[in-house]
C-alpha cells in the first residue's frame, strides 16, 4: 500500500532497501540508514542497500535498538513495510548479547584459565553444545558451557558463523604499565589537542564506564587523524602497546607521530620490520614481517612478537587488511585489549565477520561528509573522465581474455593526454598520479619528469621523495599501490587515478583519502580548511574498465560524494 509517493525508500521482503536518489528526502534517508544497512549497488537513479545480520549487530554495538531503526524505516518508506521485516530486525538484534562469555565462578587469578558461555535461554546452550564445529572446544557444566581461555577467539569466530554473536565479558590482562601522556605542544612547539570526534571515538572504544569494553573497531575517514585516536586510547590505558601497520612507511609515520605528540622517549619506541627487529614498551610492526615464513611448510617465526612482552593493547591500523595468520594469532590473543582503526570495513573477501568476532564490533563511525561539513577534512570533487580506446587497440581488446582486456583498457595510451591536461589545469597544486600498472606509471613519470614510487623503490628513496613532496620541493609524484595505505601527504590536493585494482572499493577509499587532509589549517589545528580536493579517475569508454569503475564508486556514493562523469574528446 502506498504511504507517501515523495518518500525515497522502498523496503523489500528480503531486507533490501531501494533508495530513490532523486526523491526530496533522499539525502536524509541515506544518512539515517547508513548505521544499520550496507550499500550494495549505486547506479545512476536507484541505490540498493541491504540490512544484514552483521550490519544490525554493529548497530547494536553502537547503541542502536529496534526502537531506533523501525521508526526510521517508517519515516522514509514509500510503501507499507512488508510483514516480517520489523520482527526480523527485532529477532536479529536480540541475538547480540543472548550469549555471554564470562570467567568461571571459581577463578581467583586475574586471567582465568576456564571461561563459561552462559545464556538465560537453556535452549540456546543446547543448540551450541550440539554444533559439530564447537564440540572439540566446549564441555557442559551446571553453570554453562566451559572452554579453555586459549579457545576464546576460535569459539567466538565459530559462533558468529552460526548466527550467535558473543558478548565477551571475560577480563583482560592489564599488561605491563607504561605512563603514556599526550603533549600539549608538538615537537614543533605548536599547540596540540585531540579533536572532539577523536575523543568521542576513544571513549566509545573504552566504554561508558572507563576502560571497560576495550575491544572493537573505530571507523574514521582518511585524513581525520586515526593515529591521534590510537594515541589517545594509549594515553588512557597506559600500558605496553603493540601497533601493527600495513607497511614500513606507515610504521615510521606512527613512530614520528608518537615522538611528536606524546612524551614517550625514543628508547621507549621500537620498529619491528624487515629492516629492524627491536622490541620496546611501544613496538610498531608491519603485517608483512609477521606473515613472513621461510617456506610454506614452516610456521610464521615472527608471530612470537605477540608473546615478546606483556602487551596490554594491540592496535590494528587499517584493520580491514588483516591477513589470515594475524587473524589466527588474534584468535588466541583475546585476553588483550584490541583496537581496530580503519576508514572502511569493506573487505573484498567478505571476512568482515572475522573482524567483528576477533577484533571486535564497530564502536564508532563518523560519516565522511559530516567531517567535511565541519571542516576537519577537505571537501572533495570526484570526477570520472571517460575516453575512447584508440582504433589500433579495439581488435586486440575484443580478442583478449577478460584479465588482459582490463589491462589494455587501463593502459589506454590516450590517457596520457588527459593526465597532461589535468596537470596543466592544476598548475599550482600538489598532485598525486596513482596507478596499478608499473609500465604505465614509468612512461608517465618519464614524460612528466617526476619521481615514481613503486614496490621496487628502496625505502630510503621513498622517504626522500615523500619528504620533498611534503616540503613542496616537488609538486608532482607518481605512486603505485604501495601508497594506498597510511601515507601522510597533507598538502596533496589533486589525485589522478589512471588505473586501479579491478573493482576494489577499499582501494578507492584509500586513494581518495590521500588528498583529504585539511588544507591551510592554522597552528591551533582548527577548521575551517581552505581549498577543495580533486579526485579524477580515467576510464576507457565501452570497456570492462567501466564496469569495475562503477563498483569502485560504491564506496564514494555511500559516503555521500557526488561522482560527475565527463566525456573526453580530443
Pairing label, strands 114-118, 362-365 = unpaired
Q: In what order do the strands lie in the sheet with 139-140?
A: 139-140, 145-148, 114-118, 99-103, 166-168
What would you report as the CA-atom Rg of the chain, rounded to the nearest whole angstrom? 25
Close Cβ partners of 299 (under 8 Å, ≥ 6 residues apart) = 293
SS3 of 342, please? strand
Residues pairing with 285 in the sheet? 244, 272
**Owner of C-alpha cell 587499517:** 318
- Rounded Cα distance, 11 and 480, in Å: 41
Where does residue 267 rank: exposed (0-12), middle (13-18), buried (19+ CB within 10 A)? Answer: exposed
pLDDT at 558: 64
pLDDT at 61: 81
- N-to-C CA span, the chain: 51
Q: Which three cell numbers stand for residue 479?
A: 605512486
Q: Are 377 and 197 in contact (CB under 8 A)?
A: no
Would you give per-residue pLDDT tens digits along the chain (570 residues)? 889 999 999 999 999 999 998 999 998 998 899 889 987 776 668 888 899 998 999 888 878 999 999 999 999 999 999 989 999 999 999 999 899 999 888 655 556 788 999 999 999 999 999 999 999 999 999 888 999 888 888 899 899 989 999 988 888 888 999 999 998 866 555 667 889 999 999 998 987 544 447 888 998 887 788 999 999 999 999 999 999 998 888 899 899 999 999 999 999 999 998 888 999 999 999 888 888 888 877 778 888 888 788 899 999 998 887 877 787 788 778 888 999 998 877 665 666 788 888 888 888 888 777 787 788 877 888 888 999 999 999 999 999 998 899 899 999 999 999 999 999 999 888 898 989 899 999 999 999 999 999 888 888 898 899 888 888 889 999 988 776 655 666 678 898 989 877 556 666 666 676 676 765 543 334 444 456 888 898 999 999 888 877 766 766 766 667 678 889 886
- Rounded Cα distance, 248 and 253, in Å: 9
In the chain, % helix, strand, coil (3-state, to 5) comes to 40, 20, 40
Beta strands in 207-361 (DSSP E): 215-219, 241-245, 269-272, 282-286, 313-317, 337-342
Residue of 446, 385, 430 whose CA lies nearest to 412: 385
Q: b/e map of 234-244 (b: 16 or more CB within 10 Å)? A: bbbbbbbbbbb
- Rounded Cα distance, 84 and 13, in Å: 8
Q: Which three cell numbers stand for residue 290?
A: 609477521
pLDDT at 529: 40
- Rounded Cα distance, 397 and 404, in Å: 8
Instruction: Give the count of beta carbons closer than 10 Å to the beta carbon of residue 266.
Output: 10
**Owner of C-alpha cell 579517475:** 537
Q: Are 35 and 73 in contact (CB under 8 A)?
A: no
pLDDT at 187: 56
pLDDT at 271: 95
pLDDT at 346: 66
pLDDT at 2: 84
pLDDT at 547: 80
Q: Which three cell numbers stand for residue 388?
A: 575512447
Angle between helices 85-95 and 66-76 (to 10 degrees): 150
Residue of 357, 366, 359 whose CA lies nearest to 96: 357
- Rounded Cα distance, 233 and 318, in Å: 16
Q: b/e map of 431-470 (b: 16 or more CB within 10 Å)? A: bbbbbbbbebbebbbeebebbbbbeebeeeebeebbeebe
pTM recorded for the entire structure: 0.79
Amino acid at each position: 500500500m502506498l504511504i507517501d509517493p515523495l518518500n525515497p525508500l522502498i523496503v523489500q521482503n528480503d531486507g533490501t532497501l531501494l533508495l530513490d536518489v532523486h526523491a526530496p528526502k533522499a539525502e536524509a534517508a541515506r544518512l539515517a540508514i547508513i548505521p544499520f544497512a550496507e550499500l550494495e549497488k549505486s547506479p545512476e537513479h536507484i541505490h540498493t542497500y541491504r540490512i544484514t545480520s552483521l550490519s544490525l549487530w554493529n548497530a547494536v554495538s553502537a547503541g542502536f535498538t529496534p526502537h531506533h531503526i523501525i521508526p526510521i524505516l517508517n519515516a522514509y518508506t514509500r510503501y507499507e513495510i512488508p510483514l516480517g521485516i520489523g520482527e526480523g530486525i527485532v529477532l536479529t538484534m536480540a541475538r547480540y548479547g543472548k550469549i555471554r562469555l564470562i570467567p568461571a565462578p571459581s577463578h581467583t587469578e586475574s586471567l582465568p584459565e576456564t571461561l563459561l558461555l552462559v545464556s538465560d535461554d537453556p535452549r540456546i546452550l543446547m543448540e551450541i553444545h550440539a554444533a559439530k564445529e564447537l564440540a572439540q572446544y566446549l564441555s557442559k557444566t551446571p553453570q554453562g558451557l566451559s572452554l579453555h581461555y586459549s579457545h576464546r577467539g576460535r569459539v567466538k569466530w565459530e559462533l558468529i558463523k552460526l548466527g550467535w554473536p558473543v558478548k565477551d565479558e571475560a577480563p583482560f590482562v592489564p599488561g605491563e604499565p607504561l605512563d603514556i601522556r599526550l603533549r600539549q605542544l608538538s615537537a614543533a612547539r605548536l599547540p596540540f589537542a585531540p579533536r572532539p570526534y577523536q575523543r568521542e571515538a576513544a571513549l566509545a572504544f573504552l566504554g561508558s564506564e572507563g576502560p571497560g569494553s576495550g575491544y572493537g573497531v573505530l571507523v574514521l575517514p582518511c585524513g581525520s587523524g586515526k593515529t591521534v585516536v590510537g594515541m589517545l586510547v594509549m594515553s588512557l590505558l597506559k600500558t605496553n602497546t603493540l601497533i601493527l601497520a600495513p607497511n614500513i612507511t606507515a610504521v615510521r609515520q606512527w613512530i614520528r607521530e608518537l615522538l611528536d605528540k606524546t612524551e614517550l622517549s625514543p628508547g621507549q619506541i621500537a620498529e619491528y620490520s624487515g629492516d629492524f627487529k627491536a622490541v620496546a614498551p611501544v613496538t610498531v610492526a608491519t603485517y608483512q614481517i609477521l606473515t613472513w615464513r621461510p617456506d610454506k611448510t614452516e610456521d610464521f617465526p615472527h608471530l612470537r612478537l605477540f608473546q615478546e612482552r606483556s602487551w596490554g593493547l594491540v592496535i590494528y591500523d587499517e584493520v580491514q587488511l588483516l591477513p589470515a595468520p594475524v587473524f589466527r594469532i588474534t584468535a588466541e590473543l583475546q585476553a588483550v585489549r584490541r583496537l581496530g582503526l580503519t576508514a572502511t570495513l569493506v573487505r573484498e573477501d567478505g571476512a568482515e565477520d572475522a573482524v567483528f568476532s576477533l577484533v571486535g564490533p564497530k564502536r564508532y563511525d563518523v560519516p565522511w561528509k559530516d567531517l567535511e561539513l565541519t571542516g576537519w577534512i577537505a571537501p572533495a570533487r570526484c570526477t570520472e573522465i571517460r575516453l575512447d580506446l584508440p582504433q589500433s587497440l579495439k581488435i586486440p581488446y575484443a580478442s583478449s581474455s577478460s584479465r588482459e582486456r582490463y589491462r589494455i583498457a587501463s593502459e589506454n595510451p590516450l590517457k596520457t593526454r588527459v593526465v597532461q591536461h589535468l596537470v596543466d589545469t592544476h598548475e599550482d597544486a600538489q598532485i598525486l598520479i596513482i596507478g596499478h600498472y608499473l609500465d604505465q606509471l614509468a612512461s608517465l613519470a618519464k614524460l612528466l619528469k617526476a619521481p615514481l614510487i613503486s614496490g621496487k623503490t628502496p625505502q630510503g628513496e621513498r622517504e626522500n621523495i615523500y619528504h620533498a613532496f611534503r616540503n613542496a620541493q616537488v609538486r608532482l609524484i607518481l605512486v603505485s599501490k604501495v601508497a594506498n595505505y597510511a601515507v601522510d601527504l597533507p598538502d596533496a590536493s589533486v589525485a589522478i587515478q589512471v588505473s586501479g585494482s579491478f573493482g576494489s572499493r577499499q582501494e578507492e577509499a584509500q586513494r581518495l583519502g590521500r588528498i583529504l587532509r585539511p588544507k591551510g589549517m592554522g597552528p591551533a589545528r582548527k577548521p575551517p580548511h581552505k581549498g577543495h580536493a580533486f579526485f579524477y579517475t580515467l576510464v576507457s569508454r565501452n570497456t570492462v574498465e567501466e564496469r569495475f569503475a562503477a563498483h569502485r564508486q560504491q564506496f564514494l556514493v555511500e559516503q555521500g560524494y557526488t561522482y560527475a562523469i565527463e566525456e573526453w574528446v580530443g
